[in-house]
């Protein structure tokens, strides 16, 4: 079953090819998973001297998934890369499945498909359009990755006729979603879609009933405010965001506004959420002295592990203990993401969780 939609059908509530009408929904990340999808960073011109560190972060994430019983699915560009990655994974005692698919860069959260499922467990994929984060980074291959991943595993495909990156939405699997006005209402994505039109499409394609709109994302974030850097669901009715504890934090005003909005937010049944915070890492600079959009919230939730980005900053330890409290049944793992962040994102951005069928 491949649902191919066009401009004439995208706004039709009667179209039988919409995932929501088949009973599909986007699951919460803490629901049981089968696989974690990763892509191998190999382009020296993109990563320069940060390439080895970025590769190490990817390998450590693969190990966390593998040790927790997940299949590790690696997207690689060439057969030669397969042999390179296999050799690297041997040192980590990790087995993986490899998929030669051309791609621009490793950010599978945004360029990969979004998995949806029925209550029966049947999986499908929604393949959204992608335009390089509003035309900033148009890299060859990125636009086709979602469809290629879906075809590789033989998943049913719903092709959505609008632009959406996976990092732009956060769901709890119960009909609620978090997003930002800065990203979804940005004219560089879907210039003809207003708030109501976005909410309708998120309902049609991902089964979302209630959208909580935050304002802006982090300063210096080229994604125009992806939600997975600023607010995450961690369990039903519970959201975590960041708070500024350091005077030189460039995100202080942004984070204060996020917390204010979340305290007023209500779920699909009119109930307020329970809000927790972790510290912001504060000012994190790149190799050239530029301010980076560093966030501890770019963690990835796996079956038995939560892996969070470490910046070797003063707040790393506090974040570790707060995540232990938020995820009492999971192991908390810190992965050094200083080099990975040079590419624009960290652990959540580069990975794609596949629910258990």
234, 331, 246, 333: which is closest to 31 by C-alpha? 234
Query: What pLDDT sits at residue 310?
Result: 98
Domains and CATH numbers, the chain: 2-345 (3.75.10.10)
- Residue 71 scores a pLDDT above 50: yes
pLDDT class for 141, splitting at 50, 70, 90?
very high
Q: Report the sign of the C-alpha dihedral through residues 155, 159, 164, 165, in that order.
A: positive
pLDDT digits (tens, 9 = 90+) for 242-254: 999 999 999 999 9
Query: Does 7 have pLDDT greater than 50?
Result: no
- Tens digits of residue pLDDT in 204-244: 999 999 999 999 999 999 999 999 999 999 999 999 999 99
Share of the chain above pLDDT 90, in %: 91
- DSSP state for residue 266 in the 8-state scheme: B
Q: Which residues contact 173 (CB under 8 A, 6 or more apart)?
A: 25, 26, 27, 28, 31
334 or 15, which is more confident: 334
Give dist(CA 14, CA 251) in Å, integer: 44
**Residue 2 — very low, low, confident or very high, per pLDDT cuts 50/70/90?**
very low
With bands split at pLDDT 50, 70 and 90, how would you rate the model's confidence at 274?
A: very high
Cβ atoms of 72 and 38 within 8 Å: the answer is yes
Which phi and psi (to 5°) does residue 198 adopt?
A: -60, -45
Confidence of residue 9 (pLDDT cuts 50, 70, 90): very low
Pairwise pLDDT comparison (346 vs 3), residue with the higher score:
346
Instruction: Summarize the confidence of residues 76-82 as an average pLDDT.
Output: 93
Report the candidate in 341, 307, 340 with the shortest Cα–Cα distance to residue 33.
Answer: 307
Model confidence pLDDT, tens digit, residues 306-330: 999 999 999 999 999 999 999 999 9
Separation of first and last alpha carbons in the chain: 17
For residue 263, pLDDT beyond 70: yes
Taking 90 as the threshold, does the pLDDT of residue 342 lie above it? yes
pLDDT confidence of 357, banded at 50, 70, 90? confident
Q: Which active-site residues does the annotation give?
A: 349
**pLDDT one-digit tens code per residue, 12-40:** 334 448 999 999 999 999 999 999 999 99
Band (286; pLDDT cuts 50, 70, 90) = confident
Q: How far apart are CA 325 and CA 29, in angstroms?
A: 17
């Amino acid at each position: 079953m491949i649902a191919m939609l066009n401009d004439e059908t995208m706004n039709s509530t009667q179209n039988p090819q919409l995932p929501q009408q088949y009973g599909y929904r986007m699951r919460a990340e803490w629901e049981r998973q089968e696989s974690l999808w990763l892509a191998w960073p190999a382009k020296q011109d993109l990563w320069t001297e940060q390439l080895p560190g970025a590769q190490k972060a990817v390998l450590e994430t693969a190990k966390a998934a593998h040790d927790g019983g997940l299949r590790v699915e690696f997207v690689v560009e060439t057969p030669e890369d397969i042999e390179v990655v296999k050799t690297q994974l041997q040192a980590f005692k990790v087995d993986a499945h490899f998929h030669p698919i051309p791609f621009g860069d490793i950010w599978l959260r945004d360029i990969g498909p979004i998995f949806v499922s029925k209550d029966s467990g049947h999986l499908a994929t929604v393949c959204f359009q992608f335009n390089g984060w509003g035309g900033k980074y148009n890299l060859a291959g990125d636009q086709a990755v979602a469809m290629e991943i879906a075809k590789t595993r033989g998943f049913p495909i719903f092709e959505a006729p609008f632009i959406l990156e996976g990092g732009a939405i956060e769901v709890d699997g119960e009909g609620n979603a978090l997003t930002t006005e800065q990203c979804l209402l940005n004219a560089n994505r879907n210039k003809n879609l207003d708030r109501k039109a976005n909410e309708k499409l998120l309902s049609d394609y991902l089964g979302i009933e209630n959208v909580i709109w935050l304002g802006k994302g982090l300063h210096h974030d080229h994604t125009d405010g992806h939600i997975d850097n600023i607010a995450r669901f961690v369990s039903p009715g519970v959201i975590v965001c960041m708070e500024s504890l350091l005077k030189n934090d460039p995100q202080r005003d942004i984070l204060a506004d996020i917390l204010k909005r979340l305290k007023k937010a209500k779920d699909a049944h009119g109930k307020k959420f329970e809000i927790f915070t972790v510290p912001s890492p504060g000012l994190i600079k790149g190799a050239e002295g530029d301010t980076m959009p560093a966030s501890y919230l770019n963690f990835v939730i796996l079956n038995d592990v939560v892996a969070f980005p470490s910046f070797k900053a003063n707040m790393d330890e506090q974040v570790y203990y707060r995540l232990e409290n938020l995820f009492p049944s999971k192991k908390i793992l810190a992965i050094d993401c200083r080099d990975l962040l040079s590419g624009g994102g960290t652990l959540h951005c580069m990975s794609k969780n596949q629910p258990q069928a």
